[in-house]
Amino acid sequence: MTTTESVAETPPPDPQQSKNLPVADDRRDTDTKLFEPAAVKPKKASLPYFAGLDGLRGLGLIFVVTYHGGYVRTVPGAYLAVSMFFTLSGFLITTLILREQRQTGSVDIKRFFVHRFRRLMPAAYAGLFLAVAFGWWAANDTQLANLRGDLLSAQFYVANWNFVSSGQAYAELFNSPSPLLHFWSLAIEEQFYLVYPLVIFVCLRVFKMRVKTFGFFVAGLFLLSAALPHLVTMSPDRFYFGTDARGAELLAGVLLAVLLSNRSLAEPGWNEQQRRALSGVGLAAFAVTMFLWLTLPRESPFVFNSGLALYAIVSALLVLGCVVPGSLVGKILGIWVLRSLGKISYGVYVYHWIIFLWLSPERLPLPGLSLFAVRMAVTLAASIASYYLLEMPIRRGERPFGIRNWQAAIVAGVALVVLASVLGTRAPEIAKADDQLTIDLNLSRVSSSGPFVPPPTTLPSFPAPAPGTRAAKPPTPKTSQRPDRPLRMLLVGDSTAVSLADVLSKWGVKNQVFATVNGGVRGCGIVRGGQKLQLYQLKEVVLVDNPDNCDWEPRWRQQLEKVQPDLIVVSQSLWDTTEHTLDGDSTLRAPGDPAYDARLKSEYTALFDLLATAGVPILWLQQPPAQWGIGLSYQGQPFAASDPARINRLNQIVAAAGKKYPLFRVVPYDSFFRNWPGGIYDTALRVDGIHPTAASGGGGDIVAAWLGPELLWSYWDVWANQKPGG
């Protein structure tokens, strides 16, 4: 989301007169005031008011919040709106800096940073305090475990790099996401704001570059950033969150500003033929933008093959169309609703994601659209209040807290650091299930309290399948016995266990069947030691050491002692099917290789030895075929870790290793996907090809409605087949 403020805080009284109207007073909030302190009014650069730019920001925000509201399939390309915000920011900042350079002969760097501070910090700090409150009262264990690092990285605008290093993928947007996940884009823009003014100052003042020469320099940087995924090996998350990889989108706006630097953006600078031509270009760019926002999923190969850089050119042309006087696209986007939303867009973006997570379907059980409407109403109310009571007074140089703004910022910053430390001391509530179940760890063995008939779940409609190709209707959940108290269920494994813990927790609480504890660890397999091929590489083989946190034995031994589970569910997928080296051997091996198969059996035997000490059923989820990152490829081929033969071999080895344990059972989790009318790889169930989507009404709810009863049936079946005294 762009952090560049609205081009004008209030629209001019007469739109016809506004075409040549510069910003004139402190009541108007515009980027033209970048270098003006509150009490000093030197000659400054200014821009006319362009309602279309405010409206463009407002329209982009609508798509972003709709996407974050769980409607990914409705607006699959909404993430491109963030790319457009980057380009718009690059354009506005560069236009103002070049105008100041041309009009005054210098660039006031200090004033630039003061203005950025006044613009960004108030809402950002308010959002961070809101995230602290969420962490204290509403976060689940997974969110809480990451929140301290997320909070500090967001505070210092390095959130994007924190998410890269911690493995919190944007594809896991609906599986225990951080309340500060959306700060990644704010971090990229702030890094740009910190570095770019210094770069342009050095180029224009120290090296005495002409603007045209500077434009060639920027064009070179644009091409370098666009080519980066082809020059350097990086994962999709490294590409998506990396400042260097996303720089092309900002630089496209910079290039547009350079090209227009010798033109007047007011009407006398354009003749009728130019206006018509550029208006048509802007309208075409708008049509392409709408098409991509409505159709292009993030997993498309186009995105990871310089597609974002190419789209940035479209965004630049759309921005150009908005600043051409009298353009049709400027009039379309300049309607009151869009430009009003654009004016408060920064606050909406900062607050909306935290509010959406807080107002979860579990806390506010409303139908999908009704829930979204309530979330948006709360977000808009908070954003409007923030805008008029917090953000605007500080931008005008007022002191809403009775002390200097820089002093208030220091106090707030220190308070956030202290609160982050305190959050780190709040112990996760073992066996907590969305704060709705209290589990007594001293309860005796569970008994039946009558039949359990799985409740119906809302399913999507399906086209008629081709004869003999797939099931005509979804698999039917099993009927079994209801426990006399909720079963303490511990899920262990990789990120598939993490995502299933989220969706099964909701289902278990709703039906008073399970109290789910998430023991999954993202990015870790059961096979320890050696090196493994990093999943999701886009260019070449990259081996990484198994990190220390992938040593599952001490982690899960401690959880067994604390949770005292009634049943244990194991879900492990591609981190054990990707290529590995074994200790003392540099050969890459995978399931099907005899040496690796033996290692798999040994490691899973050790795992089951540990889990068997709990004396409760151990349920292995037979893994379905997966497509990690649907649409992506490795050197033109599908990722080898997703090879169905490897996944089948993993299932065979685990089932064989578990045979000697009387309480072990295989749950045919894969059969649900194999018999799903939408097909095994239907993104309605697994938006990224592997993790059930935890958004309300999404694939996770559908999967849980079948898997929950299946796990309960398997639990009773294990005990029913035990010999007396066994």
Residue 176, C-beta contacts closer than 8 angstroms, at least 6 positions apart:
140, 142, 143, 498, 499, 502, 518, 694
Residue 435 has pLDDT above 90, yes or no: no
> Is 85 in the same domain as 233?
yes
CA distances from 403 to 32, 175, 227, 410 (A): 27, 41, 48, 11
Residue 472 has pLDDT above 90, yes or no: no
CA distances from 726 to 470, 569, 615 (A): 41, 21, 10
Output the pLDDT for position 724. Answer: 61
Domain that holds residue 660: 476-720
Please report which confidence band the pLDDT of residue 450 belongs to, taking 50, 70 and 90 as the band edges: low
Residue 443 lies in a domain: no
Number of domains in the chain: 2
> Is 132 in the same domain as 269?
yes
Place of tokens 């730019």: 53
> Is 381 in the same domain as 519?
no
> Is 577 in the same domain as 647?
yes
Express the helix, strand and coil content of the chain in percent, nearest 5 each: 55, 5, 40
Distance separating alpha carbons of residues 135 and 424, to the nearest angstrom: 10
For 695-712, write each residue's pLDDT tens digit.
555 678 889 999 999 999
Partners of residue 667 on adjacent β-strands: 621
What are the structure tokens assigned to 535, written together? Answer: 């999943």
C-beta of residue 608 within 8 angstroms of C-beta of residue 653 = no
Mean pLDDT computed over 507-532 = 86
Question: How many Å is the maximal CA-CA distance in the chain?
Answer: 94
Residue 464 lies in a domain: no
Where is the domain boundary, 425, 457, 488?
425
DSSP string for residues in 219-241: HHHHHHHHHHHHHS---HHHHHH
> Is 409 in the same domain as 487?
no
For 102-137, write each residue's pLDDT tens digit.
878 777 888 888 888 888 889 999 999 999 999 888
Output the pLDDT for position 269. Answer: 59
For 394-425, write each residue's pLDDT tens digit.
888 887 666 666 666 677 777 777 777 666 54
Please report which confidence band the pLDDT of residue 534 belongs to, taking 50, 70 and 90 as the band edges: low
> Is 489 in the same domain as 378?
no
Between 206 and 14, the higher pLDDT residue = 206
Q: Name the helix (H) or strand (E) containing 166.
A: helix 159-166
Mean pLDDT computed over 626-641 = 57
Residue 621 lies in a domain: yes
Burial 424-445 (b: 16+ CB within 10 A, else e): eeeebebbbbbebbebeeeeee
Residue 209 lies in a domain: yes
Distance separating alpha carbons of residues 252 and 247, to the nearest angstrom: 9
Where is the domain boundary, 382, 405, 425?
425
Output the pLDDT for position 401. Answer: 63
Distance separating alpha carbons of residues 43 and 189, to the nearest angstrom: 27
Residue 33 lies in a domain: yes
How do beta strands 531-533 and 543-545 pair?
Answer: antiparallel
Residue 540 has pLDDT above 80, yes or no: no
Residue 448 lies in a domain: no
What are the structure tokens assigned to 440, written together? Answer: 């007594």
What are the structure tokens assigned to 360, written together? Answer: 């979860």
> Is 492 in the same domain as 406?
no
Output the pLDDT for position 273. Answer: 85
Where is the domain boundary, 425, 459, 492?
425
510: helix, coil or strand?
Answer: helix
Output the pLDDT for position 579. Answer: 86
> Is 419 in the same domain as 499?
no
Residue 718 has pLDDT above 50, yes or no: yes
Residue 616 lies in a domain: yes
Residue 185 has pLDDT above 90, yes or no: yes
Mean pLDDT computed over 36-47 = 48
> Is 491 in the same domain as 625?
yes
Burial 217-244 (b: 16+ CB within 10 A, else e): bbeebbeebbebbeeeebbbbbbbbbbb
Most confident of 435-444, 562-571, 630-639: 562-571
CA distances from 594 to 532, 591, 646, 657, 699 (A): 17, 8, 13, 15, 36
Partners of residue 619 on adjacent β-strands: 569, 665
Distance separating alpha carbons of residues 699 and 686, to the nearest angstrom: 6
**Long-range CB contacts (within 8 A, 24+) of 377-381:** 379/65, 379/348, 379/351, 379/352, 379/355, 380/344, 380/348
Please report which confidence band the pLDDT of residue 177 belongs to, taking 50, 70 and 90 as the band edges: confident
Residues above pLDDT 90, as percent of the chain: 43
DSSP string for residues in 454-468: PPP------PPPPTT
DSSP string for residues in 33-71: GTT--TT--------B--HHHHHHHHHHHHHHHHHHTT-
Distance separating alpha carbons of residues 78 and 70, to the nearest angstrom: 12
Distance separating alpha carbons of residues 45 and 492, to the nearest angstrom: 59
Q: Helices 495-511 and 141-155: crossing angle, nearest 10°?
A: 120
Place of tokens 């589990």: 439
> Is 401 in the same domain as 501?
no
C-beta of residue 558 within 8 angstroms of C-beta of residue 521 = no
> Is 414 in the same domain as 480?
no
> Is 378 in the same domain as 511?
no
The residue among 468, 285, 309, 327 whose CA lies nearest residue 19 is 327
**In CATH, what number is assigned to the domain containing residue 678?**
3.40.50.1110
Residue 82 has pLDDT above 90, yes or no: yes
Residue 547 lies in a domain: yes
